[in-house]
Amino acid sequence: MAFSRRGERVNGHPLTYLDSGATAQKPLAVLDAERDYSLHLNAAVHRGAHTLAAEATELFEDARHAVARFVGADDDEIVWTSNATEAINLVAYAVSNATLGRGGQAAKRFALRPGDEIVVTEMEHHANLLPWQELAARTGAALRYIPLADDGTLRLDLAPGIIGDRTRIVAVTHVSNVLGTINPVADLVALAHAAGALVLLDACQSAPHLALDLHALGVDFAVFSGHKMLAPTGIGVLYGRRELLSALPPFLTGGSMITTVTMESAEYLPAPQRFEAGTQRVSQAIALGAAVGYLSAVGLDRIEAHEALLGQRLVAGLGQIEGVRVLGPGLGRERVGLASFEVAGIHSHDVGQFLDDRGIAVRVGHHCAQPLHRRFGVTASTRASTYLYNTEAEVDLLLTGVADAITFFGAHA
C-alpha cells in the first residue's frame, strides 16, 4: 500500500508508526485527490455561476454523498465541520440557542431548563465532555456520568439509574481513544430513547475502523474527524437525523447559509447548509470523499479483523512484560487495535522518547482524557494505536522496545 511516510527512516530506524489514533497517514490516492482539485478545479462552491464553480460544487457534494453512504446516512444529514470537536460544540451551542428561544416553535424541543440532565461517560475525550459542561453551566442543567468498571467497560448496571426522566441528552463515545473499549451503543440508545433523550455518538475512533450504519444504530447525532481516517486535517463531520437538523437553530452565522437577510433579521437555508456558514473546506472534503472510497475498497470488515488481531497481539505481548499494566479490556475481550499502558517506575514520556529513538511513534500523556486516567490512578499512559497499514512485525518491535526500555531505565514492578 502506498501511504505517506511509509518506508521512511526516523532516527536511523525504519519508521514504525503506531499513532493512528491521533492522526492517520494518508494513501497517495487521497493526497492526489486534494492536489488535483487545487490544481484544476479550485473555485468557491455554491456561489459562482461559472463552469469552474459548478464543477467544484459538484465534487464537493459528491464527497458529501460518499461520506453519507459510508456511514449509512442520507446526504442532507451530513454537515461539514472543521473537526469532531467543532461538530460537538455546534450541537451544544445550537441547543443553547434553542434554550434562549432562537429557532422558533420547532426548536423548543431542544430547550434545556434547570433540573434537566445531560449524561456522559467517565471515558469521554475532553471534546465530548467540556462542551456539555459549558452547556450545563449556561442552562442550569445538571451533568451526570456513567462510571467505569475496573476492566475499562461501562457500568451498564448503573445506567438505568442515571439515564431517566430528567435526561435530555446522552453523549457517549463509540470506542474509547484510551482503552480501546467498544461500547454497547444499542443498549444506551434504547435507554436514552425510552427516557425521551437525544443521543450524540462520538465516532472518531470507530468510523475509521468499524463498519458504521448510523440509521441502524439509531443515534440522533454523530461526529467524526477526517484526519483519523486517511483524510487531511481541517475536515470533520456532524451527522444529524434530518428532522432534528431541520429544527435545530444554527450556531455559526454569516454568508452562504441564508435565504433572506434584512437589516433586522434573517431566514436560514435548510440543513445541512444552514450549519455551513462561510467559505467551506472544499479540498479537504473532497479528500475525505476519496478516503472513504479507499476504505470501502479495502473493506471495513477486513480492516476490523486485521486491527482486532493486532490489538490482541498488543495486549497479549504487553501482558507478558513484567511491570507493564494495560488499561482497558484484557486479552480475549473485544477491543479495537490500540492499547494504552503504564510502565511501573517509568514516566510515559520517557517510554515514548525511548521508543522514538528507535523510530517507533506512539502517543504519551493523558490523551485528552484526564478523568479516565484519574479513574485508573495514573496521570499519563503510553498508547500504541494501529491501522490498516500496520503489521504484526511492527507490534513486535513495540513490544521489544518496551521491554528494552524497562532494562534501560532499571525499572521493575
Burial 198-216 (b: 16+ CB within 10 A, else e): bbbbbbbbbbbbbbbebee
Cell of 208: 475509521
204 annotated active-site: no
The 3-state secondary structure of 28-86 reads HHHHHHHHHHHHHCCCCCCCCCCHHHHHHHHHHHHHHHHHHHHCCCCHHHEEEECCHHH
CA 367, 307, 66, 40 torsion-angle sign: positive
Query: Which residue in 368, 371, 375, 409 is the catalytic one?
Result: 368
Cell of 237: 463531520
Q: What are the distances in angstroms from CA 268 to CA 1, 86, 209, 260, 291?
A: 45, 20, 36, 7, 31
Cell of 233: 486535517
Cell of 286: 473532497
CA distance 404 to 402: 5
Residues annotated catalytic, as ranges? 368
